[in-house]
Structure 1
Amino acid sequence: MKVPFIVKVRNWVRRRVIKLQWRYYVNFWKMDIHPVTLISLEAKLDKSFPEGIHIGEGTAVSFGAVILTHDYIRRMHVHTRIGRFCQIGARSIIMPGVTIGDHCIVAAGAVVVKDVPANCIVGGCPAKVLKENIETVHWGRLKEFDTGDY
């Protein structure tokens, strides 16, 4: 099936906008974000302490996700880390100071309040481990369902 021209143009523009957004986060705000990441244009990254955001290679942050590095009530600015090959689900919230291990999936709408070990799926409010010993590839896709088309 042939892909319509307008779809090709839209995808090309989208990739360029996402790359510009990455440059803005890294160069202007000094966030530590690997160049091979996919961050939705609607995701919210905390700019109160932007140097505290660390996102690893091959990670995808979905629309409406919020990654925090500050807590106004406790007057703290801390580092929030997301590992390699993770998927941060839509409308999830990563609280300040949390570390998410490599190859993790955070379910949509989850509120992560404590560290997440590597290779697991978490979900709920507050987030709890739902499944352990998973394997993910780029953008946090489960390896068993991967088709290899990135």
Structure 2
Amino acid sequence: MALKVVRFRNYLRRLVIRCTWAYYTKYWKMDIHPDTLISLKAKLDKSHPTGIHIGEGTAVSFGAAILSHDYIRRLHTDTRIGRYCQIGAHSIIMPGITIGDHSIVAAGAVVVKNVPPHTIVGGNPAKVIREGIDTVHWGRLKEFDDGSFGR
């Protein structure tokens, strides 16, 4: 019985993730790869939704804000997040920022400058914590990934 409950819960979770992706890409016209994981509590800028670009295998955690406009400067620009990245909980990605492939943004970070590929950044403003990292699906560090975590 417990196994059926777990399977049903996982089915519902996957369904909600697919519906969320469809909502962002079809209704708001955001450029989000189908193989992304975006928390329902993440905040993606809807003032300039076509400026949001998120690559394959990227995870956006709860409370993260990805901005593509700045009202004060009357700026509408593209914000790009690369492939296999992890955007930590309650982090803020400012408009016009590019986050390179295989990068991790720590929880609570405020990213005001572009992030090079294969880098961990954190803090306010975000600074490089570590370079030369390699990530796998949903931004997990390759050195800690044994492949047992299911998709």
Pick the TM interval, shorter chain.
Answer: over 0.9
Query: What residue is the counterpart of 1:108 in the other structure?
Result: 107
Please report the RMSD computed on the Cα atoms of aligned residues, expressed in angstroms.
1.1
How many positions carry a matched residue from both structures? 149
> Does 1:23 pair with 2:17?
no
Query: What residue is the counterpart of 2:131 in the other structure?
Result: 132
Alpha-carbon distance in structure 2 between the residues aligned to 1:93 and 1:3? 38
What are the ranges of 5 or more consecutive residues in structure 2 without an aligned counterpart?
A: none
Query: What residue is the counterpart of 1:73 in the other structure?
Result: 72
What are the ranges of 5 or more consecutive residues in structure 1 without an aligned counterpart?
A: none
Deviation at 1:3, TM superposition (A): 5.8
Query: What residue is the counterpart of 2:62 in the other structure?
Result: 63
Runs of 4 or more consecutive aligned structure 1 residues displaced over 6 Å after TM superposition: none
TM-score by length of 2: 0.96
Name the SS for the 1:4 alignment partner. Answer: helix
Name the SS for the 2:63 alignment partner. Answer: coil
AA partner of residue 69 (structure 2): H
- The structure-2 alpha-carbon separation of the partners of 1:133 and 1:4, relative to structure 1 and needing over 3 Å to count, comes to same
Alpha-carbon distance in structure 1 between the residues aligned to 2:17 and 2:76? 27
Alpha-carbon distance in structure 2 between the residues aligned to 1:101 and 1:113? 14
TM-score by length of 1: 0.96
Query: What residue is the counterpart of 2:46 in the other structure?
Result: 47
Alpha-carbon distance in structure 2 between the residues aligned to 1:26 and 1:79? 15
Deviation at 1:124, TM superposition (A): 0.1
Alpha-carbon distance in structure 2 between the residues aligned to 1:3 and 1:134? 38
Instruction: Provide Cα deviations, 1:73-95, integer angstroms capped at 9, x if missing partner.
Output: 11110000000000000000000
Query: What residue is the counterpart of 1:33 in the other structure?
Result: 32
Q: Percent identity?
A: 72
Deviation at 1:96, TM superposition (A): 0.4
Alpha-carbon distance in structure 2 between the residues aligned to 1:47 and 1:86? 21
Alpha-carbon distance in structure 2 between the residues aligned to 1:139 and 1:74? 33
